[in-house]
Copies of this chain bind each other. A is one copy, B any other.
């Protein structure tokens, strides 16, 4: 269902708001757009919700592919409160927009999944690239897609992920162009965030990982590919969505790309688990 919202809140005003206000706007349905730059300093995550029968294999898939699928939180079966990631996070309402897949096919897009949640579902939160992008920016490394308000370009590679049960498929990567003299910094900085895809999986010739045209992404926006910069590729959170579509569970709910769950966990936390948990 689309939430019956009151007045809608603008992205610009929310960008200056604190985490509490951002969450209230999302929960109440007055903000339904992307979360880049919102809730500054707090961990944002990809979301996948699956029936319990698929949960063990999906966790194995994440454990075996930690760079595309860094697992930052898992709900109890049937409990919509993600108590390890926040004081009152409710996975039914606290993501701005959701995609609902039935048998692996996109069926609808919603801003509230209270009507779909049931006792058999398990919600998974996976780290996302916003975290290391912020760290790169703090180090003075500019990112073209952010400076130009575009979505990072993403590509399907020729790299097989490690299968688990019905979950398998090629790894998806995101690409950022980096000046050669900052390449070592970029690698070292992102490596320090294993819960946000960690170090890049490849840099240099895109053909090596099966990308024939770096100016034509499979997802996201095109970016310039200047010859004096190095294309750098990170494992991407779209990878598990591809694996889920391949597994064709009867029901799967994900966040709408770019519309992430904003948690109460500081972005630079060593461990993505709240010290005091609220289980209600």
Interface residues of A (CB under 8 A from B): 52, 55-56, 59-60, 63-67, 71, 73-74, 76-77, 84, 122, 162, 164-165, 191, 194, 198-199, 270-271, 273, 277
Contact = CB atoms under 8 A, between A and B. Distances in A.
- Among A66, A122, A199, residue most surrounded by chain B Cβ atoms (within 10 Å): A66
A273 to B, nearest CB: 6
A73 B63 contact: yes
7 contacts: A59-B63, A63-B74, A64-B84, A76-B165, A84-B162, A191-B270, A199-B270
Contacts of A63: 59, 71, 73-74
A76 B60 contact: yes
B273 A64 contact: yes
Given A66-B273, A162-B277, A199-B270, 9 more contacts: A56-B59, A59-B74, A67-B271, A76-B165, A84-B162, A191-B270, A194-B194, A198-B270, A198-B271
Contacts of A56: 52, 55-56, 59, 77, 122
Nearest to A160: B277
Contacts of A65: 273
A162 B164 CA distance: 26
Give this chain's copy count: 2
Contacts of A270: 191, 194, 198-199
Contacts of A73: 63
Query: Lowest 4 CB-CB distances: which A-B pairs, in order?
Result: A56-B56, A59-B59, A60-B74, A63-B74
A36 B59 CA distance: 30
A65 B277 CA distance: 12
- Among A55, A64, A71, A194, residue most surrounded by chain B Cβ atoms (within 10 Å): A64
A106 to B, nearest CB: 27
Nearest to A56: B56
Contacts of A55: 56
Given A56-B55, A56-B56, A271 B66 contact: yes
- Among A65, A198, A273, residue most surrounded by chain B Cβ atoms (within 10 Å): A273
A74 B65 CA distance: 12
